[in-house]
Amino acid sequence: IVILGKTGAGKSSLANTIFGEDEFKIYHTLSSGTTKCQANTRSVNGRRITLIDTPGFFDTHRSEEELKPEMVRCITECAPGPHAFLIVLKVERFTEHEQEVIKKIQENFSEDALKYAVIVFTHGDQLPEGETIENFVSQNKNLRDLVEKCGGRCHVHNEEDDYRSNKFQVEELLNTLDKMTEANQGRYYTNEMLQVVKRETEREEEHAKKSFIDRLLIRSAGVATGALLGAFLGVGK
């Protein structure tokens, strides 16, 4: 699961809530605290999950050119591809700035990524009393269109909630991810760059395997033993 969003949206905090522990460091500054992609794997409610936290888009202290290498590294971290994206937005007015964030996500990952995405709104305590997240979304056409492109999948997260509430929110989110993955027939998101990474990884693995076998064959006590060992390990002449 790759977590995306603008600087200060609460990506690292959401990742910690999902894991139920402070695995990702949180910075209370105007600039992005997460400067490099960070991946961690944990068991959550019977599921083995890898979360990849990413630097925020539109960091006040970093140029877009500086962020690009990290987004590329994010892609290589999750090769052959992620099963899901969490697009993190704060409960606040959906301005042109937020719209630009979504545009940047689509530029880096393509619009097809939205088929694998869930919108998560942080700072749920900012919702007026009695207002649902669905009603909040419906008030802005651009936001409404975005959620529709994500198959209507959206959740709200309030980091000020107690442990029991957070646990319930996480289970609801994971259930949505399960249904989305099932609808996608277990496929992961991929694009041209991920395909290149996958091919290079396979090539390196094959090269490493051949080198290992070559060393074993050289050390073998005879041709027959070497041929037998090669056949056993699935390596031809």
Query: What are the domain boundaries of the chain?
Result: 2-183, 192-232
Phi, psi of 131 (to 5 degrees): -90, 135
Say what the pLDDT of residue 28 is. 54
Question: Are residues 159 and 24 in contact, defined by beta-carbon separation less than 8 angstroms?
Answer: no
Say what the pLDDT of residue 183 is. 93
Instruction: Kindly compute the dihedral angle of the four CA atoms of residues 134, 11, 13, 186, in this order, to the nearest 10 degrees.
Output: 80
Low-confidence stretches of the chain (pLDDT < 50) are: 30-31, 60, 223, 237
Q: How far apart are CA 123 and CA 92, in angstroms?
A: 9
Q: Which tokens is 229 given?
A: 């060992």
pLDDT in tens, 144-183: 999 999 999 999 988 776 767 788 889 999 999 999 999 9
Say what the pLDDT of residue 78 is. 72
Angle at which helices 163-183 and 11-19 cross, to 10°: 90
Say what the pLDDT of residue 237 is. 47
Select from 175, 169, 139, 140 the least CA-distant residue to 156. 169
Q: How far apart are CA 128 and CA 13, in angstroms?
A: 22
Say what the pLDDT of residue 35 is. 67
pLDDT in tens, 123-149: 888 888 888 899 999 999 999 999 999
Identify the bridge partners of residue 6 per DSSP, sorted by sequence position.
Answer: 57
Q: Which tokens is 158 given?
A: 């309030």
Distances (CA, A) of 43 to 31, 48, 155, 164, 167: 31, 4, 21, 18, 14
Instruction: Write down the CATH number for the domain with range 2-183.
Output: 3.40.50.300
Select from 80, 81, 108 the least CA-distant residue to 199. 80
E strands, 28-184, where?
38-44, 47-53, 85-90, 117-122, 154-156
Q: Which tokens is 14 given?
A: 């959401």
Say what the pLDDT of residue 125 is. 86
pTM, full prediction: 0.76
Phi, psi of 160 (to 5 degrees): -85, -5
The string of DSSP letters for 188-216 reads PP--HHHHHHHHHHHHHHHHHHHHHHHHH
